[in-house]
Amino acid sequence: QDYFTDENRVLKKDPQQDYHLEYAMENSTHTILAFSRELHTCDTNDKSITESTVRVIWAYHHKDMGEAGQNYHGSNRGTKSLRLLNPEKEEVLSASLPYFDLTNKDVPVPDKDTTYWCQMFKIPIQHEKHHVTKVEPLIQKGHENLVHHILLYQCSSNLNDSVLDYGHECYHPNMPDSFLTCETVIFAWAIGGEGFTYPPHIGLSIGTAADPQFVLMEVHYDNPSYTEGLIDNSGLRLIYTPVLRKYDAGVIEAGLWVSLFHNIPPGMPEFVSEGHCTLECLEEALGAERPAGIHVFAVLLHAHLAGRAIKMRHFRNGEEQKLLAYDDEFDFNFQEFQYLKEERTILPGDNLITECHYSTVDRNRMTWGGLSTRNEMCLSYLLYYPRINLTRCASIPDIMEQLQFIGVKEIYRPVRQTWPFIIKSPKQYRNLSFMDAMNKFKWSRSEGVSYNELVLKLPVNVRCSKTDNAEWSIQGMTALPPEIERPYKTEPVICSTSPCLRCSIFLTLFVVYVTVSTIGNIGPFV
């Protein structure tokens, strides 16, 4: 039956029954319920199912429901973030394909809530071109709920083997400088994910001088019970083939350059930041390397803990195209590449805008762009082909008008551009850094709204980077953001009352029962 709940957690039967049982099976250990419903029921008691992340909440009791109503589930409950409309691409892979593993070696997981552990690896394939066709998670048995997500970054090729000596906690003041050269995400996995399969005509190239030599694996450990003595050996498996595919995959980081120039006032229920992959950068890079355009087939949208929603907007000749990707229910702990339903072509002169929505209602100080999870980012990683020499297409908002907004009149101008610069006047900010002054300013919600309107109109500094931090000539130039409609105008929802193949979803629920007497003889269930 179709039930819903209110803010008092009381279950109520929905007068509009939109969930339909397809079949049910039960044996001594499992109950299986398969059901379907329309994506958009237009029932105020239902959530629409879109391409965004969905929080699936589950609870059950080991006894069937009696006449008195539902039995309380007790501890038999949980939640999981899923993308119901983004199934993994199915591809038949030969079991004989070679692979290599990138795994942590006996990492001691601290007895604290959250740990990010970073380890550098060298790609073992060095002398002949191959294509990676699939990346799979290797989660240590029993650690299925401990390992929350894994990111793999491409690092500078100018490193040497000395960086491989040891791992270190990520985003730590004492972490090795070599970690800072690892900026482009080439793979992302989150709890519940099954890995990433490249489409049949595309592969991640390894083994040549232009390919990743060194990679950094970041593992997020989630230990809310502060369990002591945990040792982890999880990681990734990269399956590759010597049979080359037609195209090499590339990755472009688009959005806001990670810096203190990106900042969000405290106490804001909604604040929007925009990162621009400008037409000037795409005109130069694509015009020189691929005038016919590149084809995007998957996107990873990335923010941190204050992130609530992200959109990747696409403009051509001033006209907005269909969204490239979006997630209106962003979950920092569930980050994976989304396959696009159809490949999208990006042409020279197109504009891409990464639009990030944040909430800082629970914060009383400024939130700054940065690497820590309490800092923020606003990025999109585009998986595309054929690979060109463009790794970053981003922007930085102008800083001087941000200073003027809080009343700064003059700064000490150093001989060289150093950070943080110091404020000269007015008196209340004298000798303070930009960060201190922004925190000293008395932010109200109305001031925050006015500041948001200002930063969205500011000129931007163009970042247009090649491999190993080389730059296209447009790098560092100032550009004006395009005139765009805000907020984004969503397509109208079409409600349906009759089943159809394209507008309904089919779900299967498995409930596993384990008797106490057998728990000691089996592995954990996920």
SS3 labels along 299-358? EEEECCCCEEEEEEEEEECCEECCCCEEECCCCCCCCCCEEEEEEEEECCCCEEEEEEEE
For 479, what's the count of Cα atoms within 13 Å in the CB-facing half-sphere?
Answer: 24
pLDDT digits over 391-400, tens only? 999 999 988 8
Q: Which two tokens stand for residue 55?
A: 């929080």
Q: Which residues are catalytic?
A: 116, 302
Neighbours of 450 (CB within 10 A): 11
Residue 291 in tokens: 């005038």
Phi, psi of 378 (to 5 degrees): -145, 90
The pLDDT assigned to 94 comes to 59
Q: Who contacts 56 (Cβ-Cβ below 8 Å, separation ≥6)?
A: 79, 80, 81, 82
* Burial class, 129, CB count within 10 angstroms (exposed 0-12 / middle 13-18 / buried 19+): middle
Q: Give the end-to-end CA distance of the chain in Å, rounded to a whole number.
A: 26
Tokens (6 digits) for 305: 């803990």
Cβ contact 346:277 at 8 Å: no
Q: Are 250 and 388 in contact (CB under 8 A)?
A: yes
Smallest CA-to-CA distance from 349 within 461, 479, 250 is with: 479
Q: How far apart are CA 190 and CA 331, in angstroms?
A: 10
Output the six-digit token pair for 294: 């590149």
Buried residues in 270-306 as b, exposed as e (16+ CB within 10 A): bbbbbbbbbbbbbbbbbeebbeeebbbbbbbbbbbbb
Q: Give per-residue pLDDT as tens, 379-419.
A: 999 999 999 999 999 999 988 899 999 999 998 876 455 56
pLDDT at 335: 81
Q: What is the pLDDT of residue 473?
A: 94
How far, in Å, CA of 125 to CA of 104, rounded? 19
Phi/psi at 122 (5° precision): -105, 130
pLDDT at 90: 61
pLDDT of residue 275: 97
pLDDT score recorded for residue 448: 97
Contact status, residue 277 vs residue 384, Cβ threshold 8 Å: no
Nearest-angstrom CA–CA distance, 104 and 147:
12
| Distance separating alpha carbons of residues 495 and 37, to the nearest angstrom | 12
Half-sphere exposure of 275 (CA within 13 A, CB side): 32
Q: What is the pLDDT of residue 415?
A: 44
Smallest CA-to-CA distance from 206 within 280, 154, 165, 160 is with: 154
Q: What are phi and psi of 447, to 5 degrees?
A: -65, -40
Question: Which residues, given as ranges, of the chain have pLDDT below 70?
Answer: 87-95, 192, 414-420, 496-504, 509-526
DSSP conformational letter for 471: B
CB-CB contact of 185 with 152 (8 Å): yes
Any alpha helices (H) in 344-466, and if so which ranges? 400-405, 434-440, 445-455
pTM for this model (two decimals): 0.86
Confirm if 207 and 149 have CB atoms less than 8 A apart: no
Q: How far apart are CA 392 and CA 462, in angstroms?
A: 10
